[in-house]
């Protein structure tokens, strides 16, 4: 049986990335209870959509800039990566300053994350934003992404040299250094650069996968799904229903603390991502029919949506206050998603803000 080729546009990854962005939107909206809590876990579970977003970004850098562009001179790839890093750094600064201004000078009666600065102290805000000591929480991962892209030329060079093992080794060593220094940037890079190795070998993995018997693929897929569902269920129980198992829940939750990318959290992120990827791949045709218009657009313009989703949050916070009505909160979640979708559809927006 011939192995199907990888399509030029990885729609499954677009849909999955769109799903992660939608989840981030409703998490940052933070209007609970809501029907969206079922898919987001209120960003309180062992792994969140943010990890998945970073994993996809690293995987695509490995696949597109590493593997697909391997015939191009390394200098050309390096220029593209560095220019992209500078662009995202600039937008990290612009959007952070813009959101601080909105939060300070616009009455958002629904509330918003308070900037860690004295009111009107623009000197401190600008200095710390430009020097990457501060990034607004709504665009927090732009800074990480910019830094990782700036370092990516080294990873691409090593991958071209057949030294994928060295990329993984260096990433794990930097992760360990991040633990020692308590540096989040050094920790999160592992969720970017290790997947970049997978991305570089994606076509080989794809060929290996389809070389297996269908029954074998089904067995592996089912096993990953069962393990993913089981660990998500345990995470839900430990997070929301720990009564009777307080000691066990506390111990398990401690392994996945949000202030660190522990080895447990990283491995769980890879497991859940794989489970979601296999599931989205299975239902891709259904997604394309019913949600392609939403997830496809947001997923293929994920950074545009990520940068602008704070605008939707501010609009909703300007007109509404927080409440505990499930229906109202669910509708506000839909409104936030549709505002972002509408903004991303605008040609003028797409021409200015990076995708």
Q: What pLDDT, on the 0 to 100 scale, is given for residue 4?
A: 72
pLDDT digits (tens, 9 = 90+) for 23-65: 999 999 999 999 999 888 999 999 999 999 999 999 999 999 9
pLDDT of 298 reads: 98
Residue 237 confidence (pLDDT) = 97
**Is residue 152 a contact partner of residue 84, using CB atoms and an 8 Å limit?**
no
CA angle (344 as vertex; 195, 184 as ends), nearest 5: 35
| Number of other residues whose CB lies within 10 A of the CB of residue 177 | 12
Q: Where are the domains of the chain?
A: 11-352
Of residues 139, 119, 105, 125, the one with CA closest to residue 318: 105
Q: Comparing C-alpha atoms, which of 9, 56, 51 is closest to residue 198?
A: 56
Q: Which residues contact 58 (CB under 8 A, 6 or more apart)?
A: 148, 191, 192, 193, 194, 195, 196, 199
Of 282, 197, 272, 191, nearest to 230 (Cα)? 272
* pLDDT at residue number 39: 85
Count of CB atoms situated within 10 Å of the CB of 73: 9
Q: HSE (CB half, 13 Å, CA atoms) of 286?
A: 5
Euclidean distance between CA atoms 95 and 99, whole angstroms: 6
| The model's pTM | 0.96
Q: Which residues of the chain fall short of a pLDDT of 70?
A: 1-3, 5, 7-9
Long-range contacts of the stretch 317-320 (C-beta < 8 A, 24+)? 317/108, 317/109, 317/110, 317/111, 317/112, 318/106, 318/107, 318/108, 318/109, 318/110, 319/110, 320/109, 320/110
Q: What is residue 7's predicted lDDT score, i.e. its pLDDT?
A: 67
Predicted pLDDT of residue 2? 63
Asked if residues 313 and 112 have their Cβ atoms less than 8 Å apart, the reply is yes
């Amino acid at each position: 049986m011939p192995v199907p080729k990888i399509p030029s546009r990885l729609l499954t990854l677009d849909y999955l990335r769109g799903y992660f962005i939608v989840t981030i939107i409703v998490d940052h909206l933070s209007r609970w209870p809501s029907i969206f809590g079922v898919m987001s876990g209120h960003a309180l579970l062992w792994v969140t959509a943010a990890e998945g977003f970073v994993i996809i970004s690293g995987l695509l850098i490995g696949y597109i800039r590493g593997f697909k562009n391997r015939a191009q001179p390394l200098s050309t790839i390096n220029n593209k990566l560095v220019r992209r890093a500078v662009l995202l750094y600039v937008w990290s600064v612009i959007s952070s300053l813009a959101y601080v201004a909105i939060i300070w000078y616009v009455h958002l009666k629904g509330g918003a994350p308070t900037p860690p600065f004295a009111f009107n102290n623009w000197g401190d805000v600008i200095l710390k934003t430009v020097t990457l000591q501060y990034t607004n929480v709504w665009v927090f991962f732009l800074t990480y992404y910019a830094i990782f892209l700036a370092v990516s030329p080294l990873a691409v060079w090593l991958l071209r040299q057949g030294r994928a093992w060295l990329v993984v080794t260096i990433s794990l060593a930097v992760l360990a250094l991040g633990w020692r220094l308590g540096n989040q940037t050094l920790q999160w890079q592992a969720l970017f650069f290790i997947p970049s190795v997978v991305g570089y070998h994606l076509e080989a993995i794809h060929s290996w996968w389809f070389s297996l018997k269908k029954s074998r693929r089904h067995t592996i897929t089912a096993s990953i799904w069962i393990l993913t569902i089981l660990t998500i269920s345990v995470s839900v129980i430990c997070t929301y229903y720990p009564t009777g198992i307080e000691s066990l829940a506390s111990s398990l939750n401690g392994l996945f603390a949000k202030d660190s990318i522990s080895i447990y959290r990283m491995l769980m992120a890879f497991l859940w991502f794989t489970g979601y990827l296999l599931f989205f791949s299975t239902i891709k045709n259904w997604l394309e029919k019913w949600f392609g218009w939403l997830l496809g657009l947001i997923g293929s313009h994920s950074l545009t949506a990520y940068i602008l989703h704070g605008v939707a949050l501010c609009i909703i916070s300007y007109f509404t206050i927080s409440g505990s009505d499930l229906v109202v909160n669910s509708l506000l979640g839909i409104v936030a998603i549709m505002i972002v979708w509408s903004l991303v559809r605008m040609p003028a927006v797409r021409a200015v803000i990076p995708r």
